[in-house]
Homo-oligomer: A and B are copies of this chain.
Amino acid sequence: MTSEIKDWKAVAKEKRDAITASIPSEWHISNIPSAADQRDVTGKFIQQYLNEKEVEITETDAVGIAKKTKTGQWKAVDVTKAFCHRAALAHQLVSCLHETFFDAAIKDAQILDDYYATHNRPVGPLHGIPISLKDQFHVKDVETTMGYVGWIGTFEGKKGTNKEKVFESEMVRELRNLGAVLYCKTSVPHTLMAGETANNIIGYTWNPKNRNLACGGSSGGEGALIGLRGSPLGFGTDIGGSIRIPAAFNGLFGLRPSSGRLPYEGMANSMDGQNSVLSVVGPLGTSIGGLRLATKALLSQQPWLHDPLVHEIPWRDDQEKEIIDLVGSMGHGHKLTFGVLKHDGTVTPHPPVRRAMDIVAKTMERLGHEVIEWQHPVPSERFTKVIGKIWTFDGGHDVANAFSLSGEQVAEAIVVNTSPTEQANASEIAATNVVKRDLQKEYLERWNSTKELTSTGRPIDAILSPAAPFAAARPSLYTYLGYSVWVNFFDYTSVVVPVTNVDKSVDQAIEGYQPLNDIDKKTYECYNAELYDGAPVSIQVVGRRLQEEKMLALAEYISNEIHKN
């Protein structure tokens, strides 16, 4: 037993050291101040380690980068090097990387530059844009551990598959086709089932804007890395909030598409094959423009020809235009209508989240749009219980198996059961699927019925909702997932929009607050204005299934308007 424990710790340390060693020594930094001394390591703090050009490049969003790289104004190699450098710094500050492959990236970038030099045109719409990937993507010559010590030196825990460091996920192939440069893979909580990011390899990924807090999860490394501008754009996955939570906690934009829109084919996953609630893959980034660029580019690759679960729905300009036309013709009797979910009936959002929701709702009202109070048609427990059941259909068998490979201990933040219990059987699973479908139908019809409430005669265009009850979670205190999982349960499209930052001078306790239940009380008690000060506060814009074009357009409009103030 002792030797086994020593074993996994040693293996984890070896991997951890290898990640650090993969960073060129000239990029190493030391004497990093404590969180108490330096809460926020973004902006000026991280800039001190970079030259002016590197700062300019890395603080440009994906659309801005594409403009330069696709016209030859910036070399892909220079852009890549700048992001490799900043990513290396980010990792040292908040522990957000599982894999770096900077040399391969620079080599790939050189090929792009050569192509441009020869043909005077870019390889594709993502020419020379560095893109970071959550450590579920398989990339050749690179390991995938998903945070499991037992996966080190294997392919998804298995040895001798001949796929180790050779096999690439479908989206990786497409991103390369499009001209993107892949250079690092980012940290995740092992099991992927957590709203924060911790594992025995890299430890804990902190929120770079406020190192008292979690960076979110499970695409937490993406959130932290992009939050530090160590990447302009990255891909995460979401089965309960795992794209949106890190986007929200780090002041980023994030798209959770509906299932079947973007290709998940060939990625590592937890409980792979559970198909009652599918995990989806989507982009996080520093601008909506970047999310749109990446989504549109991927759809141009016809992923439905290579991923059997992707539906043949190309990018729909007309759907985007519908929103643009609506807001463009405001004052001519046209307007948007929103449902606003201020409280889901179970857990009271923290003061800064309430304020962010108010900012958005009031901005929309001020502009002449219509905002109606929204309540889920059924108590949130109804679907949070069902999704919890779905996540544990296998009684924790899959993740327990992954842990048993090394004997490693389980991180505190993990929300699924990891000691195997009884599995659900086929009848129970089928019955759960029927309950889920019935609730989905009920939600759809409630949404349809809002056309009776709006002055436009259309059902509401979107629901504005918190992405979490808090600006960011405190370590091991992710008390409630209800504000993110409802979107997964109903398979809706959602875009996270950063709104403001916690301001201890205004975001004080809620006057007359009375706990509704134990989770509500526990969640409320996590709030501490002093501790939270400075953390990003975001909301999500939620549309029906497969409304990616419309929700991106809406989120962009909302974001532009709230940041005009």
Contacts and interface: CB of A to CB of B under 8 A. Distances in A.
Contacts of A271: 430
Copies in the complex: 2
A7 interface: no
A398 interface: yes
Contact of A265 (B305, B306, B441): B441
B397 A427 contact: yes
A433 B276 contact: no
Interface string A204-217: 00000000000000
Contacts of A313: 311-313
A307 B272 CA distance: 26
Interface stretch (A86-94, A245-253, A418-426): A418-426
A545 B308 contact: yes
A95 B306 CA distance: 46
A545 B308 CA distance: 8
A501 to B, nearest CB: 36
A215 to B, nearest CB: 29
The binding surface of chain A is classed by DSSP as loop
A437 interface: yes
Interface residues of A, number: 46
Contact of A491 (B308, B395, B424, B431): B308
B306 A432 contact: no
A397 B431 CA distance: 12
Contacts of A547: 312
A74 interface: no
Given A311-B546, A441-B265, A444-B305, A272 B430 contact: yes
Contacts of A431: 273
Nearest to A272: B434
A433 B443 CA distance: 27
A394 B426 contact: yes
Contacts of A546: 304, 311-312
A274 interface: yes
Nearest to A425: B423
Interface of A: 260, 265, 271-276, 304-309, 311-313, 393-395, 397-398, 423-427, 429-434, 437, 440-441, 443-445, 448, 490-491, 544-547
7 residue pairs, one from A and one from B, having the closest CB atoms: A273-B430, A308-B440, A393-B426, A273-B433, A423-B425, A394-B426, A273-B434
